[in-house]
Amino acid sequence: MRNPLRLKRHCSNCPFRNDESAIRLAPGRLRQIADALVSNDAAPFRCHKTVHYGDGTAWSSPEGVYRERGDEAMCAGAAAYLMRIGRPTIEMRVGFISKLAEPGDWDEILDLTISPEDIRGD
């Protein structure tokens, strides 16, 4: 299993970017994602570029539930957003304790990361 906290920079179209490079989501979707992250700190938010898509082997169970392979990673933009608001996930906090990551690992991308004000009207 690779370090799930290894990503420290946004991907090119991360939805948590606050610039024109961010992928455009349906109205209200980014707010929904951010609210879910804050309300359930046990649920990770994986970078869309590290999640494998239905190749018929491990995308989902018969119930349609995604099965991780072990090479997925926490979205760096989501991690930066959560650090901005002081709400790291359980996975992040365990990573800090076990030295897989440091709380300041996403500081360099904070200027390019959304804030709660950016999604208030989303």
Digit-coded pLDDT (tens) for 48-98? 888 765 554 445 556 666 667 778 899 999 999 999 999 999 999 999 999
d(CA 95, CA 100): 5
Cβ-Cβ contacts under 8 Å for 32 (sequence gap 6 or more): none
- In the three-class reduction of DSSP (H, G, I as helix; E, B as strand; rest coil), residue 74 is classed as strand
Digit-coded pLDDT (tens) for 87-96? 999 999 999 9
Q: Which pTM does this prediction carry?
A: 0.86
